[in-house]
Structure 1
Amino acid sequence: MASEKPTLVFIPGAWHTAEYYEGVIAQLKGYGYEVHALRLPSVGGDETTTVADDAAHIQKTTSALAAEGKEIILVMHSYGGIPGTESAKGLLQKDRAAEGQKGGIVGLVYLTAFLLPEGLSMWQFLGGMPDWVVYNGKRMGLARTPEIMYNDLPAEEAESWSSKTLYHAAPSFETPLTYPAYKYVPVTYLQCEKDQAIPFAGQQAMAKIPGDHVKTPVCSSSHSPMLSMPETVVKVIREAAGETVA
């Protein structure tokens, strides 16, 4: 990587917006990073949104940054790992360099995120949805949200964050990953031991999919380490960006 720090692009998961990352983002900006946090169309938006739609939305930001010559790291949480991975097609730095262009994606950070095999949707990978995903037509909501998403936060805080979640478009869980970007760039996968949404064993299995070039730090967080362990998340991201952090 170049001496200039890479630009970070945050891709939230299902039901969540960029608001959940404000604490982490503030710290990273303090360390000199340019940060962009997106809201996916599938979150509280068009209920027909697919992975491809979310990926195209992400590319509007990343392609503009790459055109400016910026090196980019995608930071993805939960469902965000699927459209985030998909969106990297055509934007990897090494592919752009081969065409004489500067800038592009140089790394992927998965925060207890879905890292799927090529050709599978989340629905296929999981064999259906868990009982805490509630359907209302093509809109998906959450049941037992504090328990599933924020089980290591104080009860009042967990309830507050739960109240901010939005519906999510069901088709996005049913469309497959077509581009395994994780095969071609450095990958960091933060595994969270107390996660009730993606069990720890599932995270471990997904972190093995890319091969030997994956870093796999572990923390004791719930499914939302950006809220309960923001300093850990910041450390993981800074190290993925090439810093040595004590």
Structure 2
Amino acid sequence: MTDFVLVAGAWLGAWAWDEVVPGLRAAGHGVHPLTLTGLAERRGEPAGQQTHVQDVVDLVTARDLREVVLVGHSYSGIPVGQAADRIGDRLARLVLVGGNVPVDGQAFVDAGPWGVAVAEAIGANDGFWPPPAAADFAGQGLTGEQIARLVAGSTPHPGDTLTQPAALTGRLAALPATYLTCLLDSPEPPPAVAALVRDAGWHHATLDTGHWPMFSRPADLAEALLAAAAR
């Protein structure tokens, strides 16, 4: 049996995986959606980048999980990628769903030119990155109802987790990993991921939907996660 640990991206909590969980459990696996500190039902708790890394490590060790598939979506690829090395031989596979890849000494806001706008938004909103408006979800394969769920459930994201750097303790390239590109979001993986696929043997898969597949294509996402775990 595989234990899936599911971590959603910015603004979201464990609730974001509600429609993915049944497909994984029906296949006989353990499923552990995680809300990172400062988000959703944990809103108001202070958090930095390493807090989110420790959230993942603590869940795995406290529940004594084995054969773990760590799944990081979007922003959470940064803490999940760091945690993957720290759980040692408990890790079966790292899966990043349209996720950011941690780079030692680099923060989320350092990953691209858009980081300047994110940093400015954090500075203008009392240290938090405000959730997107409904219009920002357009073109991502989402229905109006799905967008409404996203907007209603999103909470401001703690800024320190986005501006503090990642700290890798091992070689990310050496980990067994799958990167899942959401084609409506971007037809190609980021350059750093493309290099890992080319040089480190990371597996690359695609899903024909947008950046939030746990809402737009939850059953297909569950199948993609099962396929990644079976590699």
Alignment of 1:73-222 (within 5 A): 73-93=69-89, 104-127=90-113, 128-130=115-117, 134-135=121-122, 136-148=125-137, 151-179=140-168, 182-195=172-185, 199-201=186-188, 203-210=189-196, 211-222=199-210
Unaligned runs of 5+ in 1: 94-103
Q: Quick one: distance in 2 between partners of 1:171 and 1:123? A: 10
Percent sequence identity over aligned pairs: 21
Following superposition, the deviation at residue 149 of structure 1 comes to 7.2
Question: Which residue matches 1:10?
Answer: 6
The answer to whether the Cα contact below 8 Å between 1:194 and 1:200 also exists between their aligned partners in 2 is: yes
- Following the alignment from structure 2 to structure 1, what is the Cα–Cα distance between the partners of residues 86 and 190? 28
1:53 aligns with 2:43: no
* Contact 1:8–1:36 (Cα < 8 Å) also in 2: yes
Opposite residue 160 of structure 1, the aligned amino acid is R
Distance 1:175 1:48, change over 3 A: same
Indicate conservation of the 8 Å contact 2:70/2:91, yes or no.
yes
Q: How many residues align?
A: 223
Which residue identity is paired with 2:48? T
Q: Deviations over 1:185-221 (max 9, x none)?
A: 21111101212xxx444x3323224333211111221
Answer yes or no: is the 8 Å Cα contact 2:23–2:223 preserved in 1: no
**TM-score, with normalisation over the residues of structure 1?**
0.81
Secondary structure class of the residue paired with 1:41:
coil
AA partner of residue 60 (structure 1): D
CA distance in 2, matches of 1:149, 1:7: 33
Residues 1:12 and 1:241: Cα distance change in structure 2 (over 3 Å): same
Unaligned 5+ segments in structure 2 are: none
Give the CA RMSD over aligned residues: 2.4
Is 1:23 aligned to residue 19 of structure 2?
yes
1:242 aligns with 2:230: yes
Letter in 1 for 2:173: K
Partners of 1:29 and 1:149 lie apart in 2 by 31
* Structural mapping, 1:66-77, within 5 Å: 67=64, 70-77=66-73
Cα 1:55/1:187, change in 2 over 3 Å: same
Task: State the shift of 1:11 in Å.
Answer: 1.1
Give CA-to-partner distance per residue, 1:66-98, whole Å, 9 cap, x none.
Answer: x46x111101101111111122343121xxxxx
> For residues 90-143 of structure 1, what are the alpha-carbon distances to aligned partners after superposition, in whole Å with 9 as ceiling and x for unaligned?
3121xxxxxxxxxx1121000101013222111111242447x84411111123
The answer to which of 217-226 and 26-35 deviates more is 217-226
TM-score by length of 2: 0.86
2:138 & 2:2 partners in 1: Cα distance? 29
Query: Aligned equivalents of 2:139 and 2:130: distance in 1?
Result: 16
Find the aligned partners of 1:89 and 1:46 in 2 and give their Cα distance: 28
For residue 55 of structure 1, give the secondary structure of its aligned residue in structure 2.
helix
More displaced 10-residue stretch of structure 1: 177-186 or 22-31: 177-186
